[in-house]
Amino acid sequence: MMTSLSTPLSTPSATDDNPGLHILVVEDNLDSQQLVCELLGALGHHAQGVGSGEQALAVLQQESFDVLFTDISLPGMSGIELAQQMNVMAPGLKIIFASGYGAQISKNVSAASFSLPKPYDIDQLQSILDGISRELQGTGDLAH
């Protein structure tokens, strides 16, 4: 039986000069969710995890994030459905799909989305996050 999942993570590696991105991780596998949040923290970002698209919507209505990092296959609302709703509610939100389905997924959802094929490595993830950071810092749109 699945329970409500929520994994907050503070990131001591983020600094005032490089505050890191605020990232919401949507992953129904608790072990994977915690691992991704820890990895993002180690990379200097602030990550919070939830276990479903419905939980993500609730959090996104109350808090501001730079990035939505979501699995595609979730119980209930899929990651694609979540992303489509967020494109309407928060069009500036960057979306990363972690999926075994390939790069075509992000192209069909939004210009502000990226695909990270599973299994991915840290360099692939860091490259996407660095690009998002540069873009958001250039526009002054970081969620801090």
pLDDT (tens digit per residue) in 106-133: 555 666 788 888 888 899 999 999 999 9
Q: Let me know: does 37 contact 47? Beta carbons within 8 Å.
A: yes
Q: State how far the Cα of 20 lies from the Cα of 14, in Å rounded to an integer.
A: 6
Mean pLDDT of all residues in 64-84: 94
- How deeply is 57 buried, as exposed, middle or buried, from its count of CB atoms within 10 A (0-12, 13-18, 19+)? middle
Q: Whole domain around residue 73: which residue ranges?
A: 20-138
Could you tell me the pLDDT band of residue 37, with boundaries at 50, 70 and 90?
Answer: very high
47: in domain:
yes
pLDDT at 2: 37
- Considering the domain boundaries, does residue 125 fall inside one? yes
Q: Which long-range contacts (CB under 8 A, 24 or more apart) does 130-134 make?
A: 132/21, 132/66, 132/67, 132/94, 133/21
pLDDT at 10 over 80: no
Is residue 63, in this structure, part of any structural domain at all?
yes
Question: Does pLDDT of 18 surpass 80?
Answer: no
**Residue 77 maps to which CATH number?**
3.40.50.2300
Within a domain: 82: yes
Q: Which 3 state secondary structure label does DSSP give 47? A: strand
Total structural domains in the chain?
1
